[in-house]
Amino acid sequence: MSIGLADDRRGLGLTAQHLRRVDTPWGVYQTRDESFAVTLTTPNPSSPHAIRPTVARIELSALTENYRALRQALSRPHRDGAARQEVAIIAVVKADAYGHGAVPVARALEGLGIWGFGVATVEEGAELRGAGVRAPILIMGAAFGNDHAEVLAHDLTPVVGDPGDVDRFATAAKAADRLRFSIHVKVDTGMNRLGVVEARFDEFIRRCARHPFIRVDGLETHFSCAEDPDPAPTEAQLQAFIRCLDHARAVGADPQLIHACNTAAALRFSQAHFDAVRLGIGLYGALPSAHVPDPGLTPALSLRTRINALREVPAGTPVSYGATYHTRRASIIATLPVGYADGYARRLGATDADADAGRPRAQVLIRGRRAPVVGRVCMDLCMVDVTDTPDVAVGDEVALLGGASRGAGQGPREGQSEAPVRAEELAVWGETIAYEVLTSISKRVPRVYPGVQASELAIVAAGGAQ
């Protein structure tokens, strides 16, 4: 559900004052500023006044800059000076574009010359088609259920590694009178998750070739360790994939789009580029690991809120559930309206054991300074020690991920440098990966798209492009 709302320039959140009327199936909302769009993912807000100051701000311009940076990195010449063949890019927008909003992201990228998109489920592909996306869409998760006909109905391209799915797609294509329905075949070269293993590849590819209603247009694999320092597992998988590719061509399958690389492999293993690469987390400005070179990526998403309470407490005061953290001195504790129901993980808050062991936990950015999250993160709230943050006040903006907004009148003082909080940092503090950090931001956090016309997002609510 997407609507437009106004940007409250006073910094008090989103309000409904002086707004233009927008009718939606969920009620009447209003907007004044056509250059500031908000996607509401909560279906039944009681009123615009009910919106918390906790929002995820997505800069689509950063996304397009990342695309260009990755494109340039992939187009650099080989070390021997030979020109590198330009590869196609498949933008991976599964899991609502890693929490960034699949439809706005797809629209921003579709005009840049990408080959198409990758999603995990039929539902995700159908959402893009319903919004007017016309580029090819790969269904990579093999989550077809019994709805193989739906894949054809939405003009989606399945990635198949199971003989039964091949037969069912052939049956659905015949029923729809779709001669030579396009599929991509997935080869399991070591992930042991989905796809046909090398030992059974000959039988599988010949089975595909026997179906007059099926055409193998693509061949792919997925590397399990491309972001790790040891290249040996990826190189072994690559050799297994090449053997299967050679065999497919030998039996006449001749797939036209060969792809194996995710972001990590694309930036580390140029010999595996083939015809296309699948770029996911890199497009959103995060790196898969510290072992992957950074081509100059900019995080596209920031998670922000505002302080809604302050209290001064003496040393030894317990904070949050379980009293797992006690202040070490007289402190000022700020309460923020964000919690694990928003995707800000419970384990991010520091405990006494963390403090004793010198183990870092999450920090946020307030007035240009880092401040630690203390005590257990609650479902809807978390607490931050702002004792060392000068002039802190209720209503101050807080960046939990990314940096502070410009022109808020509360930036860093002279001599202080603003240090945006990166998803990779949150991953370390939360003992996870940047992928989980981004995709965990929940549906109740509105996605804000500066510079996007509110009317463009309203199209999504109406069910497609006009």
Q: ∠ CA(6), CA(7), CA(13), 5° rounding?
A: 105
Is 186 catalytic? The answer is: no
Give the HSE-up count for residue 292: Cα atoms under 13 Å, Cβ half-sphere.
26
Q: Which amino acid is at 5?
A: L
User: What is the DSSP annotation of 287-301?
Assistant: -S-TTS---S----E
How many C-beta atoms surround the C-beta of residue 260 within 10 A? 28
Among the options 94, 325, 340, 344, which is catalytic? Answer: 94
Among the options 98, 186, 284, 321, which is catalytic? Answer: 321
Residue indicated by tokens 């497009």: 283
Q: Alpha-carbon distance 103 to 452, whole Å?
A: 12
Strands (E), 20-93: 20-24, 27-31, 36-39, 55-58, 88-92
Q: ∠ CA(56), CA(61), CA(64), 5° rounding?
A: 115
User: What is the DSSP annotation of 124-140?
Assistant: HHHHHHHTT--S-EEEE
User: What is the DSSP annotation of 242-266?
Assistant: HHHHHHHHHTT---SEEEEE-HHHH
Q: Which residues are catalytic?
A: 94, 321
